[in-house]
Amino acid sequence: MAAAGPPPLAGIKVLEFAGLAPGPFCGMLLADAGASVLRIDRAPRGGSSSSGSTPQDWLTRHKASLAVDLKSPRGIRLVRALVARGADVLIDPFRPGVLERLGLGPDDLLPLNPRLVYGRLTGYRRDGRYRDMAGHDINYLAVSGALSLLGRDAEIPHPPVNLLADFAGGGATLFQGVLLALLSRASTGRGQVVEANMVDGASYLATFPRFMLKTPLGALGRGRNLLDGGCPYYDTYATKDEGRYVSVGALEPQFFAALLRGLHLEGQGWESRRYDPDEWPALRRVLADVFRTKTRTEWERVFDGTDACVAPILEYGELETDPAREGDQRPAVTLRGTPCLAVKQQGDAPGDPAIYGQGRGVPGDGYEGAALAPGEGAEDVLRGWFGWAKGKDYNVSDGAFELVNSDSKL
């Protein structure tokens, strides 16, 4: 096995302004890929790391923190100096205008460093009718149209926690935009502003189901179609043991035939009647009754190794504690030559880095996040980025980092 090369984003320097879930998630994706991510936190009052001014953030792995007083000209100059000296990426998680009013907007920073990729993330569109309103994942998902697709027939729309807008449509979409801008920079030599919002991101994720609305596969209304809970052989079922469930996705004829064999329902005419939506309620009752006759473990013995498209619905508690399950947290993508960083802590004999990631991993193994105290790890990062030393290039006053010598150009 060839030795692994450096992670794909090794050497990329990222300034991430502290915020709530989507911005930190983008920063975590960059950090997991090997970028050096320095979170810019508000300086704790009185120099205490217990200040409540920092948002609750557990998406901190492979990051460090720099505590800055952004109400102080010295704090602003410090951020500007970091950009001017060669930061590659900046993540702005605030409402439009917040960093601009501090003198840290794109028009202020790109002249200092034309190679900077300035990533900013909002919930609503920056130019839309909701741009001045507060919101959360559920609101962005609502106005994107995607929420109207989610939920059972005759029930109200229901969001899947805050996965779709915050993380998929927001943080992961901004991450993609930053990567595209870095790729463009490699040929143009120039950075640019990258804007993502959770409305457009969620809507983009809904491209396929939105197209299906114009076809027989998706035109029956919410919760009545093939892939949204309407079809009984693409659904979930309770088993005999309380609180346990299985998933069924036997769409193709050969998979449906394997499902019927495992349930001992073959030869009852369901093979031909399954295409008729009027037959779906009756088939759902039959499947529900049969699945309740065995425990989830017993159904696993029936269907494991088959093409019936039946799989247990596993909970994170059992994934974390059962080594036989595929619950060891790994990098999101396998890069054979330049793997990302490890999530699960590695022992003295780490596995294949392409699969498990490089390095020692992080406490919590991907199941428990860790808080990052304001200022934690900043001295090492500043030394690594620019060779800065405390007392020579910067000082820490009342918990806030500031430059020793302020360049008047900043």
Q: What's the confidence (pLDDT) of residue 53? A: 45
How many CB atoms neighbour CB 208 within 10 A?
9
Task: Find tokens 């992080």 and name the residue.
Answer: 362
Identity of residue 136: H
- Which residue from 1, 150, 64, 104 is spatially nearest to 384, judged by alpha carbons? 64
Q: Which of 85-89, 138-142, 360-364 has the lowest mean pLDDT?
A: 360-364
Q: At 46, is the pLDDT very low, low, confident or very high (cuts 50, 70, 90)?
A: low
Each residue's pLDDT tens digit, 213-229 = 999 999 999 999 999 99
What is the rounded CA–CA span in Å between residue 369 and residue 121? Answer: 23
Each residue's pLDDT tens digit, 390-410 = 999 999 999 999 998 766 577
- Per-residue pLDDT averaged across 301-308, rounded? 98
Helix (H) and strand (E) counts in the chain: 15, 11
Q: What's the confidence (pLDDT) of residue 128? A: 93
Whether pLDDT at 44 is above 90: no
Q: At 68, is the pLDDT very low, low, confident or very high (cuts 50, 70, 90)?
A: very high
Whether pLDDT at 352 is above 80: yes
- Per-residue pLDDT averaged across 230-256, rounded? 98
Each residue's pLDDT tens digit, 91-130 = 999 999 999 999 999 999 999 999 999 999 999 999 999 9
What is the rounded CA–CA span in Å between residue 375 and residue 401? Answer: 8
Tokens of 70: 């952004």
What is the rounded CA–CA span in Å between residue 358 and residue 391? Answer: 34
User: 300 and 312 in contact (C-beta within 8 Å)?
Assistant: yes
The answer to whether the predicted template modeling score (pTM) of the entire model surpasses 0.75 is yes
Whether pLDDT at 55 is above 60: no
* DSSP class of 341: B
Residue 188 C-alpha from the chain's centroid: 29
407 is catalytic: no
Phi, psi of 330 (to 5 degrees): -125, 170
Burial class (CB within 10 angstroms; exposed 0-12, middle 13-18, buried 19+) of 407: exposed
* SS3 category, 29: helix
User: 231 and 283 in contact (C-beta within 8 Å)?
Assistant: no
Q: What's the confidence (pLDDT) of residue 346? A: 87
Q: What's the confidence (pLDDT) of residue 350? A: 80
Kindly name the residue from 32, 69, 166, 235 that is annotated as catalytic: 166
Q: At 79, is the pLDDT very low, low, confident or very high (cuts 50, 70, 90)?
A: very high
* SS3 category, 77: helix
Whether pLDDT at 189 is above 90: yes
Q: What's the confidence (pLDDT) of residue 1? A: 60
CB neighbours of 364 closer than 8 A, spacing ≥ 6?
Answer: 370
Whether pLDDT at 56 is above 80: no
